[in-house]
Amino acid sequence: MQYEKSCGAIVYRKFHGNTELLLIKNQNGGHGHWSFPKGHMEAGETEADTAVREIKEETGIDVLLDTSFRQVITYTPKKDITKDVVYFLAKATSYDYTPQEEEIARIKWVEINHASTILTYDNDRQLVTQAKNAIRDRF
């Protein structure tokens, strides 16, 4: 069994009194899925380092990472591969995004209560519920 690990974050901002989440649509052969920015850890990186780097690479957005919110999603993307994805919460400090051409088809800011209707996977929808509570507790 092969093991992989990626890190990313649920990136949010306050905009006109609403909380919005940053969603990305991966290229993935034209059948991309909507999710959150994330990517593989590189040698010598911490989970937090990876999350911040991947958000910047995939979207061009700078964030303040909140490592007190840490959720792990485990799944099997292919036979004989187990993957953990560690998600943090991240407050955007810049809002204008630039999609990473090789990997990202689209990016958009979505009102937090609408995000679950766009996200592709149930695991991500569950993360939104957890993030909603965490964000509310921070304001």
CA dist 21 and 18 (Å) reads: 10
- Measured CA to CA, the distance from residue 54 to residue 9 in angstroms comes to 9
Our answer to whether residue 57 is catalytic in this structure is yes
Choice among 57, 101, 102, 103 that is catalytic:
57
> In the beta sheet, which residues pair with residue 81?
2, 78
127 - beta bridge partners? none
Per the structure block, which two tokens stand in for 55? 């958000």
Active site residues: 57
